[in-house]
Structure 1
Amino acid sequence: MNGKKLLKILGSILLGILFLWLAFREVEFSDVLESARGMRLWWITPFTIATLFAHYVRALRWKMLFTNRERTPSKLTLYTGVMFGYLVNIPLPRVGEVARPVYVAQQVGESNSKIIGTIVLERVVDLLGMLLLMLFVVVFLIADPQVLSRLFGIDITDPATQIELTFTLLKYGGIALLGLGVIYWLFKLAGEKTEGKIFEIVVRIQKVIKTFVDGLLAVRELRNWPLFIFYSALIWALYIFMTYAGFWMFDMQAEFGLGITEAIVLTVVSAVGLSIPTPGGIGSYHLFITKSLFIFYAVPEATGLAYATIAHAATLVIIFISSPTLLAIDKFFGMKRERHGISNVE
């Protein structure tokens, strides 16, 4: 591991510690423990089912982005890749987004760069979904949208801010696509005028860029747009249900009147918290959930922090158990297919 990667890992760990300190600094730990003692345990069953099913639906949606039918991985391999990516993301933030496609590519003999392109596309779709859900929350679910501004630190209700954010997203997206195009063109030009070893390197890099772009543009070849949109909506619906199931942990649906509407708001908040590059969302998730429960719904911070800590820990436990299990199962069936001369594709 080089020094730059090590610094990124240490930086993410320090960031996670900072967020944890911010979450716990105004709360007595004994109060958090006291809140946790009254926890109901049955909620973990629907929470676990929703978590595993949400990730399975993500694998089904990912499968739709594979345009080469002869190298489309099996559902099991894709599901294993999704869970393996989440497992890697816990100690190494964002590295799981690379580990996931690399794992799948090795199973089916596909190009790493092409499958990474599908991951980038998937993340763009997730970002659009989060922005639409956030817009829905601001417009329809929060009586005073200025509360969100207090939480996120910017006035997201200001039209000028909204235009600036939209312009920034479009600008960087356009720059990224233009940059890829220019790089590809330069290597193509260099390849036409170069011979020998340099020529081979140029052609190899050119191929990597092309396959990455092919993966990114796989959305053009989608044959079933309604199903793709349905899977995307279902993933968010399951995330919302996971949040809602957690309310029953501390009877918050009865004591504070928290229901599906409030679960939608918290899901948006948690998505923002988890997007911060801390190890497995540790710290950022705790702070955002605790503060939003307190600011929006007057849930005591000790209770909110207990909710965030236990819900987050439950998610990590699910990943820690399911990921190695799926890796073993996928390996077993992969070896079985090899013995019978069957490829790991559908």
Structure 2
Amino acid sequence: MKVNFRKVLQYTISLGIAFSLLLYLFKGFDFSVIVEVFKKADYKWVILSVVIGFLSHLMRAYRWIILLKPLGYTPSLYKSFLAVMSGYFINLVIPRGGEVARSGLLQKMDNVPATKAFGTIVMERIIDVLILGVLMLILLAVEVDQITSILTNSMSSKFVGLQDKLYLLILAGGGFVILGVITFFIFRKKIQQSFLYAKALEVFKKVLEGVSSILKVKNQGAFWFHTIGIWVMYYFMAYVLFQCFPLTANLSMWVGFSVLVVGALGMAAPVQGGLGTYHILITAILAFYLQSQNPSRDDVLGIVTFMHAAQSMVTILIGGVALGLSSAMSRKNKESSIDNISPKEENVKAVS
């Protein structure tokens, strides 16, 4: 079995970052608090959150079909949903690996070219980033004083001395980019004549075709309805969990909006399932808005841990089942393709 060292390294680094953040965050934490939080939670709100999360993923699966249709492919909602949920599940193990796996699974289940499918996923991510950017601007405009206070009081003291290291990291990254550009121009003729360059260019063109699919979407209304709907579902998926505890039950919808935006940033970090990053950011947000009630840090962190676990449960349970079903369907599709090869085709292959 061939080991992909790049993926192993990526997995190890991201897991190391997540573990380090959790170790730092839970240092001195009373873990009996989490036990009490899970005991006292009102689980009817968790069930509602799971249903909302399921609907958001269903809308994402349908939106993907809308993007694929202009390219000449219309997979069923069932197959699209299985691929989407499988991708989310794989992201819990390999950050950003789910996007590649998702397009590969759809190809195996429904013969949609993986490169074109991946291009549509890239387009999805671009749109999601743009929407998140707009939401961040709204949050900063409405809650600028609160966000500034949170960053100043909760975050800055924990990252003293990191600024100089960040500058060095940016300079080093910029240096590598410049070096890469110079190397390309020096050896561009040899590079352009190579097989790998031609193959990479071919893949890039197919991905670009997938990215440009949004320009060919006929039903723009349905596309943007589902796009906005996904984010509305994300909002309520987190907000209803406030009702699980008396401490957070009276938090305003604007606090929920803050949790949506900041939580999305935490989940987007290159670590498994936002482990550590989500906990740090949302603990800072809730601790600030709950300061009038003077809760302990452990109580707030316990609730945030519960919220993260409840939202991750959708991905783990449904995503795990989806990965199993999509893998079985992929094998069945492959076997059907082999069985459908005529004796004449087999003879031609044998001769060639």
CA contact (8 A) 1:58 1:235 kept: yes
SS of equivalent residue, structure 1 residue 144 = helix
Q: Does 1:306 align with 2:302?
A: yes
2:36 alignment partner in structure 1: 34
Q: Distance in 2 between matches of 1:96 and 1:252?
A: 36
The Cα offsets for residues 12-35 of structure 1, whole Å up to 9 and x where unpaired, read as: 111001111232125332334334
Name the CA shift for 1:215/1:148 in 2 (closer, same or farther; >3 Å). farther
The Cα offsets for residues 74-100 of structure 1, whole Å up to 9 and x where unpaired, read as: 111111111000110111111111111
Match of 2:252 among 259, 268, 271: 259
1:219 alignment partner in structure 2: 214
The Cα offsets for residues 170-214 of structure 1, whole Å up to 9 and x where unpaired, read as: xx9xx9xxx9xx99xx89x95xxx7xxx67x66544322211110
2:344 alignment partner in structure 1: none
2:231 alignment partner in structure 1: 236
5+ residue gaps, structure 1: 154-167, 340-346
Bigger Cα displacement from structure 2, 230-239 vs 19-28:
19-28
CA contact (8 A) 2:65 2:75 kept: yes
Q: Distance in 2 between matches of 1:282 and 1:126?
A: 21
Query: In structure 1, what residue type is equivalent to 2:139?
Result: V
Name the CA shift for 1:335/1:241 in 2 (closer, same or farther; >3 Å). same
4+ aligned runs moved over 6 Å, structure 1: none
1:344 alignment partner in structure 2: none
1:342 alignment partner in structure 2: none
The Cα shift of 1:3 comes to: 2.8
Q: Does 1:295 align with 2:288?
A: yes
1:21 alignment partner in structure 2: 23
Name the CA shift for 1:30/1:323 in 2 (closer, same or farther; >3 Å). closer
Query: How many pairs does the alignment contain?
Result: 305
Q: Distance in 2 between matches of 1:135 and 1:148?
A: 16
The Cα shift of 1:142 comes to: 5.1
1:124 alignment partner in structure 2: 126
Q: Does 1:90 align with 2:92?
A: yes
Name the CA shift for 1:5/1:128 in 2 (closer, same or farther; >3 Å). same
TM-score (norm 1): 0.77
CA contact (8 A) 2:150 2:288 kept: no
2:312 alignment partner in structure 1: 316
1:248 alignment partner in structure 2: 243
Q: Distance in 2 between matches of 1:68 and 1:227?
A: 14
5+ residue gaps, structure 2: 157-169, 337-352
Q: Distance in 2 between matches of 1:205 and 1:69?
A: 21
How is 1:270-285 mapped onto 2 (pairs within 5 angstroms)? 270-285=263-278
TM-score (norm 2): 0.76
Q: Distance in 2 between matches of 1:321 and 1:140?
A: 37
Q: Distance in 2 between matches of 1:126 and 1:86?
A: 15
Structure label with greater radius of gyration? 2
Match of 1:136 among 135, 138, 144: 138
Bigger Cα displacement from structure 2, 37-46 vs 129-138:
37-46
Q: Distance in 1 between matches of 2:57 and 2:28?
A: 35
Query: In structure 1, what residue type is equivalent to 2:241?
Result: G
> What's the Cα RMSD here?
3.2
